[in-house]
Structure 1
Amino acid sequence: MIHTDVFAKLLRVLETIQARVSTSTRLSLGAAASVVALTLVLRYLTAKQPKLITDYAKVARKVNEDGAEFDEWDFIIVGGATFLIPQTRLGTAGCVLASRLSEDPNLRVLLIEAGGSSKNVMPSKTPAAFAKLMRSPWDYYLYTEPQQHAGNKKKFWPRAKLLGGCSAMNAMIAQYGAPSDFDEWAEIAGDQSWSWNNFSKHVVHFSLLLTFDNSVAQKYTPDPRFPHVDPLLRGADGPVEIGYSTHIWPGCKAFIEASINAGIPFSPDFCTTKGTKGTNKARFYRLTYIDSKSTRVSTESAYLTDDVLIRPNLKVVTHARVSKVLFDTSSGTPRATGVEFASKSHVNKVGPKFRARATKEVIVSGGSIHSPQILMLSGIGPATHLLHHNIPVVLDAPSVGANLMDHPSVNLRFREKTGTTFHHFTPHNLNTARLLMRDLLRYQLWGTGPLASNVGESVAFFRSDDQVLFPSAEYNNDLEDANSGPDAPDLEIIMCASAVHSHNIPLSPKLQAYQMIIILLRPTSKGSLLLKSADPWDDPLMDPSYLETKHDIDVLIRGVRAAFKIAHTAPMTSVTDVNASHHPELDHHFSSLSDAELADVIRDRVETVYHPIGTCSMGAGGVVDSELRVKGTQGLRVCDASVFPKLVSGHPAGAVIAAAEMLADIIKAHYA
C-alpha cells in the first residue's frame, strides 16, 4: 500500500469536480493524475525495504506459564520512535544509539520500536506533508489533561509512532538553542561535560557546526542563495544532512526584511559556534534536515542505513511496545536485566509477551512521555502512585514524571493578498486541484516546488526585554528574566506559508492566509506526567500546566505584539491584507485588544509546539545522573529529551541527537 493522504485527497477532489468540467479538462487532469500515480508506484516498488523484524521469536523468547525464557543481548534500547511532531522526539535518540553502539562488532544490540519504518511513508518523506501524519496511524494521538490555566481545554499532542521518532514527523528545524543553555545544564548536572565548550563536540557529530573532521556527522551543501553562510563552519562526512529547501515562499523573504525594519538585526545563520549571541539578535533563513533530493532526514534514515541494518550484531524490532523493564533485586540495588514486550493487532488484541535479556544495560529512549511511563510500569517512580495502581515498587523515585515542561505557542493568522500561499494543499475546486497536481509532479520528478518546503521557512529569535522592540515608554520592563544567559532569546516567531486553526485543522478552503507561530522559549510553568493505569496500552496522564505563571502570559503577549508589528511593517505590508480585519478566522483586530483581552485569547488558543522535556531529568533531586544512569539502579539509563533539566531556547531535536552521540561515546569507552 502506498501511504499518501495528499494524493488520496486529490483523487477525491477530482472525482467531485469532474462532472463540472469539460471532457478535455477531465482528460488532462486524469493524465496528470496518472503520471503522479505511476511515479509514486514506481518509487514505492523500487524502494529498498528496510531489514526490520516483526517475528519476535527471532530475537526473544515467548513467556509461558512456567516462567520466562530469554534471548540474550548486550544492550537493549527501548523506543527508537515517537521531542514533537513538530517537534522532542520520542525516541529520536534510539536510532543514534543503536547505530553507534553496534559499530563495535563485539557488542550485541537490540532496538525495540513501537512503530514501524518511516522510509516509505510518503507524508514523512515529503517535507510539506508532515501535518498529514497527525491524527493518523503513525501518530500516538495524545491529549493532555484539561489545562487549568488555558481555558480548561485538553490539548492535542501529536507524537510520532515511527522509527526515528518525531524526527520522522517534525518540521525539520536544524537549530539547537543558545550556548548558555548547555552551560546552565552543566551547572544543574554538576558536570562540565554538558557545558557548551564540551557538549558542542557532540553537536558537531551530527549536524550543526565547526570544521571538517573525520568524526563529523554533518553534511552541509553550500547554497548560492545564502552566500553569508560559511561552508567552512560545516561538517562534511557524517550521516545527518542539513541544508535549505529548494522552495522559498516570497512572504518569508518579506518577513525577514520587515523584521529587520521593525528593529531585529539580521543574522544569516543560527547554527554556528556563536549560537544566538547578541541580546537583540534574530536568526532567519532556517536550515532544515533535508537531503539533496528534498527528502526529510530523520534519525532513522541517517543512522539506520542499509549498511548499518545488515550488521550481524544489530537487530531492530518494530511494532512492539515494551511493557516493562525487568530487574534483579537480589543484591539490594535493582539491576536491569532485560525487557518484556508485546504487540497489539488492528482489532486491539494484545499478542503474546516476549522477553529479552540485556547482559550489560537497558537504555530507555521512549521520549518525555513514554520513558517515564515505562519506568513507572517497571516499578520505578513515586511509591504512593505506583501502589495506587498495584505496581510492585522496585525503587521509590519521586522525580519520575515530574518537571514536565513544553514550549507553548500561539498562532497569529492574517489574510494574504498575493495569492501565493499553500492553501491549495487542501484542494476545493478545479484551480486548486490543478495547482496541487502541478506541485505533486514537480516534487516527485525533480524534488522542487512547495512540497519541498517545510512550510515555515524563516524565523526570528529575540528577547522580551529588547528595548528596541519593547521601548520603556510603551512597556513596563520589569519582566522576570528566565533566560539561561544574557545572549539567549526567550521568544521565537516562525513565518508560515499557510494557516490553520490548530495543528492540521485547516481554515476555510477559499481563505488565502498565512500565519506566524509565536513560541515562548523559556517558560517557567512546570507540570507532571502520571500513569492512568497499570495497563501499558493506556496513555499516561499528561499535564504541562500551560501558562500557570504570570511570566509566561506576559512574555507571550509581547511576542504577539511583536508579530503583529512585523506583519504591518514594510515590506510585509505588500503581503498582509489589512482590509480583512473582520473575518472571524483571522486576527487583524488584535492591535485593538488590551493586554488583559489578549491574555484571554492566548489562554484559549495556546498549543504545544511539540517540545516536551524533563520527566526523567538529570541533576540533584532528578532521575538520572550526568551520565544518564537512573539513580539507585544498575544497568539502566535514559537517553532522550526527558533527561533535559531545562528547555533550550530553540528546537531540541539537535540536542537530543547530540546527547545520544555523547552517551554512545561514554558507553563505548566504558566497555572498551
Structure 2
Amino acid sequence: MLHSPGGHSRSRRISAILTFTTFSLIFAFRRTQFAKSNKTLRILLTVTAAVLTVRLLRRNMFKLLAGSKYVTDLSRVGQRVGDVPAPKVEEFDIIIIGGGTAGCVLASRLTEDPSLRVLLLESGGSGKSLIFTRLPSAFTLLFHTKHVYELHTEPQAFAREATRYWPRGKMLGGCSSINAQMAQYGAPGDFDEWAKIIGDDSWSWDKFQRYFRKLEKYVPNPEYTGVDANGKGADGPVQIGYFNSFLPQSQDFVASCTKLNIPFNSDFNTTGGTRATTFPRNRQQIMTYIDKNSQRVSSETAYLTDDVLARQNLVVAIHASVTKIIFDTEATGGPRAVGVEFSKSKNGPKYQARARKEVVLSAGAVHSPHILMLSGVGNRKDLKKHEIPIIHDIPSVGYNLVDHPVVDLAFKDKKSTPKYMRPHSILEVFKLLGSVFQYFATRGGPLRTNVAEAAAFVRSDDPLLFEHSTEVHDTTSAADSPDLELFSTIFGYKDHGRYMYPVHTVGLHVTLLRPASRGMLRLKSSNPWDHPIIDPRYLEQHEDVEKLVRGVKLLFKVARTEPLASRVDHKATNPLLDHGLPQKSDEELGDIIRERVQTLYHPASTCRMAPLQDAGVVDSQLRVHGIQGLRVCDASVFPTIVSGHTAGAVYAIAEKLSDMLKAQYAVEKKA
C-alpha cells in the first residue's frame, strides 16, 4: 500500500488527539457531580478509556521520536562492576550527573568542542516524549507519577508538624519539564549580592546578565507590545515570550494590582528588574517558557535537539541513577574525582565510567548534596554516623537549605468563567474535549495556559502598600529588590492540585522570596536508593510569618479592588473558601499560614558558592573545595536564593560554567 507524504505525521497527530482526549475524559468526567453519583458508569468509563489508551500505545500510534537517540543499555557506557576478567573501562573527558535544567545545557554546550567527549547520565527517561510535559496546562498531572521523585519533608516543627510534598523532576529536563513555565530570573541585586559573597565580579549583574541573553530566544508576540526586544537574546536555544493564554481573571488581577500602587511592568527581566515601569497597556502577562507553537520549552527540548544528539562526542544515557562518585585518593594535590558508579535499579547491576578531566554534578538542590555525601564528601559527623568512608570533610554540604514558601488562597468566581481543565458540569466536559481538539489542531485555545498567568513583585516594607506597619528585618538583596511575589492562577487549588474546589474559583497566592529560615538535608542511610532527610524548617524565623501575613492581607485588598472585586463573590459563605479570612486577626492569619505553607518548588543553596569558612561548598569556578576534577552546577550552588523563579538563573549558571570549561581546555590544548 502506498502512503502519501505526511500520512504518518497526520496519523500520529490524530492518535495524539485521541490519546489525550481519553486522559482528559477520565480526568474531567470523574469530577462531575453526575459521575460522582453513578459509580458504575464512572468505573465503566475509566476501564473503557484505559483499554483504548493501552491499544493506542501498543500500536505505537502515539510515539514521539524523542528517546530513540538515548542509550538505555548501560553496558554501552560503563564497565559492569564485578565482571571478571574486567573489560576495558569506558572513558569520557567529562561526565555530567543529572540531565535536568543545568545538565542538558552543559551536555549541549560542552560538545560544541569536538575534542571533548561527554557522557550525560539521567535517572529518568525523556521528558519531551510525555504529552503532559509538552502541554502547558497539564504539568501537574505528572505529580505522583514515576516521572517525579516523590519526596516529602520531615514534619515541620514551626508549621503544624506536618510533612510537605516536594516533587522533583525525574526525567531529562528535570524540573524545567514540570514547572509552571514562568520565565522570571530574579532581581539584578541578587547577582550583585552573589558577587560580593564569593568575591568574584564575574557574577555581578553587569557581567552575568550576558548569560541570560545567551540562553534566550525572545520571539515577539504581536498581541503584546511594550517589550524592548533589543534588550533580549535573539539567538539562544530557550524560546521565551508571551504565547500562553491570558484569561479574563488574570487580566483583572493585573488591573487591580495597578490600582493599589503596584505600577505596571511590561518585562521583569531587565536591568530594572522587578521595579515597575508604567506602560500604556494595562496588562502584565508573565513571560513564559512556552514557544510560538504553544508547547513547553524545557532544557531537554531546547538543548538536546536532534543535531546535538547526533554529535559523535555526546552520549546520553537514561534510566541511569548515579550511586556514588569515584575518587583517586592518592592523587597529587588531594583527592580527585575520576569517575562515577551508576545503576538502572536498586537490585540491578552496577556500572562504572571514568572521567579523564571532570565530573560535573548537576542533580539538583536535593540530589547533588545527597550524592556528595554518599560519596564521602560532607560533614564528617554525618558521614561517620552512616559508616561512609570520608573523602573530604566539608561541613556545609546539605546545609543552608532555603526554599520559597507559598500560601494559597481561593475565592468564589461569581462569573463562573469556565476553566475547562477543571470542569464542573457535563457541558463543561464537552467544552474541555473541544478545547483539546482546538489545541492539537491549531495550538490555540485555553489549554495554552501555564495556570499562573500573572504576577506582581513587591517589598514587605513598602509604605504605600503596608501603611502603619511595624519595621521588619530587611532580607532583600538590594533596596530595589522584592521579598514578596503575588500571583494569580486561573482556579484555586489545594495540595498541589490534588484537591479542587466544587465551585468556580479564582486562585491568589503569596510567596516569600527571601525567607530568613534555613533548613538542612541529611542522609537517611548509606543506601543510595533511600531518599535523604529533607527539613527546610519553614517559618522557623517569626519574621517570615509576619511578612507572609502582610502578603495575605495585600491579596485581600487586591480581591476587593476593581475589576477583580466584581468577579469575586464576596458574599460567599462556603467554609472551604477564604472569604472569611479578612476578618481574622494577624495572629489568626499566622496560624493559617503555618497550616497551609507549601513549597513553590525552588529549593536552593545546599552546595552554596562561598568561601569554605563562610559555609561554602564550591568556589567561584563551581569547584568543590578541596577536591580536584569535581564541580557542581545547579540551584544548590546559589549563594543566596534569587528573588523570583529559579530556572532562569540555573540556565545562566550552566551557560557560564560551559564557557569556563571550554576556555580552560582550549588553553590546555594549546599548552
Checking the alignment, whether the CA contact within 8 Å between 2:418 and 2:428 is kept in structure 1 is no
Superposition pairs of residues 614-625 of structure 1, within 5 angstroms:
614-621=605-612, 622-625=616-619
Distance 2:398 2:652 in 1: 23
What do residues 191-243 of structure 1 show as CA deviations (whole Å, max 9, x unaligned)? 11110011111111112xxxxxxxxxx2x221222211122222222211011
For structure 1, which segment, 312-321 or 198-207, has the greater mean C-alpha deviation from structure 2 after superposition? Answer: 198-207
Among residues 410, 421, 428, which one is paired with 1:413 in the alignment? 410
Checking the alignment, whether the CA contact within 8 Å between 1:79 and 1:114 is kept in structure 2 is yes
- For the residue of structure 1 that corresponds to 2:455, the secondary structure is strand
Equivalent residue, structure 1, for 2:95: 76
Equivalent residue, structure 2, for 1:516: 508
- For the residue of structure 2 that corresponds to 1:153, the secondary structure is coil
Checking the alignment, whether the CA contact within 8 Å between 2:475 and 2:514 is kept in structure 1 is yes
Equivalent residue, structure 2, for 1:447: 443
Checking the alignment, whether the CA contact within 8 Å between 2:242 and 2:288 is kept in structure 1 is yes
Equivalent residue, structure 2, for 1:87: none
Distance 1:341 1:603 in 2: 40
Among residues 266, 269, 273, which one is paired with 2:267 in the alignment? 269
Equivalent residue, structure 1, for 2:636: 642
Among residues 532, 541, 547, which one is paired with 1:540 in the alignment? 532
Distance 2:314 2:195 in 1: 33
CA 1:542–1:280: 2 relative to 1, 3 Å: farther
1:605 and 2:575 aligned: no
Distance 1:608 1:560 in 2: 16
Superposition pairs of residues 217-256 of structure 1, within 5 angstroms:
218=217, 220-256=218-254
Checking the alignment, whether the CA contact within 8 Å between 1:464 and 1:470 is kept in structure 2 is yes
Distance 2:527 2:440 in 1: 43
Amino acid aligned to 2:255: E
Superposition pairs of residues 656-671 of structure 1, within 5 angstroms:
656-671=650-665
Amino acid aligned to 2:476: N
What do residues 15-64 of structure 1 show as CA deviations (whole Å, max 9, x unaligned)? 996999xxxxxxxxx99x999x9999998346454410110111111111
Equivalent residue, structure 2, for 1:309: 309
Equivalent residue, structure 2, for 1:292: 292
Equivalent residue, structure 2, for 1:193: 202
CA 1:263–1:168: 2 relative to 1, 3 Å: same
Among residues 368, 388, 394, which one is paired with 1:397 in the alignment? 394
For structure 1, which segment, 430-439 or 223-232, has the greater mean C-alpha deviation from structure 2 after superposition? Answer: 223-232
Superposition pairs of residues 215-614 of structure 1, within 5 angstroms:
218=217, 220-277=218-275, 284-331=284-331, 333-344=334-345, 350-422=347-419, 424-427=420-423, 429-472=425-468, 475-476=469-470, 478-508=471-501, 510-580=502-572, 582-614=573-605
Checking the alignment, whether the CA contact within 8 Å between 1:564 and 1:591 is kept in structure 2 is yes
Checking the alignment, whether the CA contact within 8 Å between 1:131 and 1:504 is kept in structure 2 is yes
Distance 1:76 1:153 in 2: 38
Among residues 44, 50, 66, which one is paired with 2:62 in the alignment? 44
Checking the alignment, whether the CA contact within 8 Å between 1:416 and 1:577 is kept in structure 2 is yes
Amino acid aligned to 1:661: E
Distance 1:222 1:235 in 2: 11
What do residues 516-567 of structure 1 show as CA deviations (whole Å, max 9, x unaligned)? 1100001010000000001111000001110010110111000001111001
Checking the alignment, whether the CA contact within 8 Å between 1:624 and 1:643 is kept in structure 2 is yes
Amino acid aligned to 1:485: A
Superposition pairs of residues 176-187 of structure 1, within 5 angstroms:
176-187=185-196
Distance 2:377 2:453 in 1: 42
CA 1:162–1:283: 2 relative to 1, 3 Å: farther
Distance 1:646 1:439 in 2: 42
CA 1:512–1:278: 2 relative to 1, 3 Å: closer
Distance 2:28 2:202 in 1: 55
Distance 1:6 1:155 in 2: 32
- For the residue of structure 1 that corresponds to 2:325, the secondary structure is strand
Deviation at 1:124, TM superposition (A): 0.3
Equivalent residue, structure 1, for 2:72: 54
Checking the alignment, whether the CA contact within 8 Å between 2:66 and 2:126 is kept in structure 1 is no
Checking the alignment, whether the CA contact within 8 Å between 1:327 and 1:334 is kept in structure 2 is yes
- Could you tell me which runs of 5 or more consecutive residues in structure 1 were left unpaired when the two chains were aligned: 21-29, 82-91, 208-217
Deviation at 1:277, TM superposition (A): 3.2
Distance 2:207 2:349 in 1: 45
The Cα RMSD (Å) is: 2.7
- Could you tell me which runs of 5 or more consecutive residues in structure 2 were left unpaired when the two chains were aligned: 1-14, 39-47, 667-671
- For the residue of structure 2 that corresponds to 1:628, the secondary structure is coil
Amino acid aligned to 1:563: L
CA 1:518–1:532: 2 relative to 1, 3 Å: same
1:146 and 2:155 aligned: yes
Distance 1:455 1:43 in 2: 29
Equivalent residue, structure 2, for 1:97: 106
Among residues 614, 618, 625, which one is paired with 1:631 in the alignment? 625
Checking the alignment, whether the CA contact within 8 Å between 1:279 and 1:487 is kept in structure 2 is no
Superposition pairs of residues 152-171 of structure 1, within 5 angstroms:
152-171=161-180
Amino acid aligned to 2:455: V
CA 1:301–1:12: 2 relative to 1, 3 Å: closer
What do residues 129-181 of structure 1 show as CA deviations (whole Å, max 9, x unaligned)? 01101111111010001100001010000111010110000000111111010
Equivalent residue, structure 2, for 1:7: 22
Equivalent residue, structure 1, for 2:144: 135
- For the residue of structure 2 that corresponds to 1:359, the secondary structure is strand
Distance 1:113 1:490 in 2: 34
- For the residue of structure 2 that corresponds to 1:159, the secondary structure is strand
Deviation at 1:283, TM superposition (A): 9.5
Checking the alignment, whether the CA contact within 8 Å between 1:279 and 1:489 is kept in structure 2 is no
- For the residue of structure 1 that corresponds to 2:390, the secondary structure is coil
Checking the alignment, whether the CA contact within 8 Å between 2:184 and 2:287 is kept in structure 1 is yes
Checking the alignment, whether the CA contact within 8 Å between 1:142 and 1:158 is kept in structure 2 is yes
Equivalent residue, structure 1, for 2:45: none
Amino acid aligned to 1:136: T
CA 1:185–1:283: 2 relative to 1, 3 Å: farther
TM-score (norm. length: structure 2): 0.90
Deviation at 1:306, TM superposition (A): 0.4
For structure 1, which segment, 242-251 or 631-640, has the greater mean C-alpha deviation from structure 2 after superposition? Answer: 242-251
Amino acid aligned to 1:402: Y
Amino acid aligned to 1:590: L
Checking the alignment, whether the CA contact within 8 Å between 1:246 and 1:448 is kept in structure 2 is no
CA 1:642–1:55: 2 relative to 1, 3 Å: same
CA 1:631–1:6: 2 relative to 1, 3 Å: farther
Deviation at 1:432, TM superposition (A): 2.4
Distance 2:85 2:208 in 1: 44
Amino acid aligned to 2:260: A
For structure 1, which segment, 569-578 or 231-240, has the greater mean C-alpha deviation from structure 2 after superposition? Answer: 231-240
Distance 1:441 1:56 in 2: 40
Amino acid aligned to 2:456: A
What do residues 69-121 of structure 1 show as CA deviations (whole Å, max 9, x unaligned)? 5200000000113xxxxxxxxxx100000000001111000000001101120
- For the residue of structure 1 that corresponds to 2:287, the secondary structure is coil
CA 1:283–1:145: 2 relative to 1, 3 Å: farther
- For the residue of structure 2 that corresponds to 1:574, the secondary structure is helix
What do residues 479-518 of structure 1 show as CA deviations (whole Å, max 9, x unaligned)? 111100001011001110011112021223x311121110
TM-score (norm. length: structure 1): 0.90
What do residues 235-273 of structure 1 show as CA deviations (whole Å, max 9, x unaligned)? 222211011134211011111110011121111111223
